[in-house]
Structure 1
């Protein structure tokens, strides 16, 4: 979404590290609650024993596919796997000043990164504003990625692989973003939308 490669890698690394740090103990706690050995959980989940061991010791950054398989084997939701080990109440606030803002090359589109850093490796969401004539050109994301653009105000046009669709306030466009894609405000009025990008859509494989 216009993020420089270096900054993107920093963000992904920080998100993956934060996620791994909290889920290792949770996976171990759930495994022991079911009286499963590493070998037994590996057999039931299809995840290598060595990978599970590394996850429990917080020595690896698991993919969504891996977390999905473990959650299925442990018969819990992904959300449960991602909870803190102590299952503490959770309430977090990000102020306007803490929210990073990305600007398109033409200066007419602004993306406020409202998504949670702990899910940035597979789920990102943004508050999107586009002035009249604004164009946001994005490179392809990982294979299988899907983007959802929900228009709150105005009108936006999305082009993917030569296919163009228009959405007005109240409409949502969903499209593969694992190829170059462009969002345009071709109207004479400002547009506002919520954008959600689902990366590494392992559950769809």
Structure 2
């Protein structure tokens, strides 16, 4: 929204898809906000927010901007296209971001969708025997799911250690420092999904 002033944003109503109301409601619930809470934080009347969530009004761009600021998301995300529109996207190996540890033993391919990064992240994890992935704490209430496809992994968190092998999944709180190690003789291959506190399962 660079270059757009608040006054310019106030001009006229914006015709939006029926997805807008669902998006605002999902984000509001994700942050455990009541209609009154969101109204207070955004400066948008409670009745207007209620109408937006029920898709009974076409809000101005200024209103959507205020709601996006209060919900701490980009206005582009709030205005995302409707679910029923055709969608397919293919990402090649060369275009998939890859993080590699300093010693080269751990490789983390970011296969999650950029639009979900605020509430869900997922990765393709490969590691040579002895490889270690150390992670800082995520936001409070977050949960990580590690599904091993081949090899063995050891997860250490808050002084507790759990070992899992191929075909097994480990779920654990990741709102504190945690470590994933490749143990055993074979390379580790796993899918790792981090579900943030803001996630809402519908």
Same fold (TM over 0.5): yes
Cα 1:50–1:201, aligned 2, differ >3 Å: closer, same or farther?
same
Identify the residue that residue 75 of structure 1 maps to in structure 2. none
Say if 2:12 is the partner of 1:25.
no
Alignment of 1:40-119 (within 5 A): 47-48=38-39, 50=43, 52=49, 57-58=64-65, 60=68, 62=71, 84-85=81-82, 87-119=84-116
TM superposition shift of 1:93: 1.0
Bigger Rg over Cα: 2
Higher helix share: 1
Distance of 1:43 and 1:181 partners within structure 2: 33
8 Å Cα contact 1:136/1:183 also seen in 2: yes
Contact 1:28/1:56 (<8 A) preserved:
no
> C-alpha displacement at 1:87, in angstroms?
3.5
**Corresponding residue for residue 187 of structure 1:** 184
Choose which of 112, 121, 124 in structure 2 pairs with 1:124: 121
Alpha carbons of 1:86 and 1:180: their partners in 2 closer, same or farther (altered >3 Å)?
closer
Unpaired segments ≥5 residues, structure 1: 1-23, 32-41, 65-80
Instruction: Give aligned pairs, total.
Output: 155
Kept after mapping to 2: 8 A contact 1:103/1:111: yes
Whether the aligned pair in 2 keeps the contact of 1:122 and 1:201 (CA below 8 Å) is yes
Deviation at 1:167, TM superposition (A): 0.6
C-alpha displacement at 1:199, in angstroms? 1.2
Kept after mapping to 2: 8 A contact 1:150/1:170: yes
Please, which runs of 5 or more residues in structure 2 have no aligned partner?
1-14, 23-32, 50-58
Corresponding residue for residue 170 of structure 1: 167
Match of 2:8 in 1: none
Q: Match for residue 144 of structure 2? A: 147
Cα distance, 1:96 vs structure 2: 0.8
The 1-side partners of 2:143 and 2:131 are apart by: 22
Q: Which deviations, in whole Å up to 9, do the C-alpha atoms of 1:127-175 show, x marking residues without a partner?
A: 0001011000011111111100000001000000110001100000001
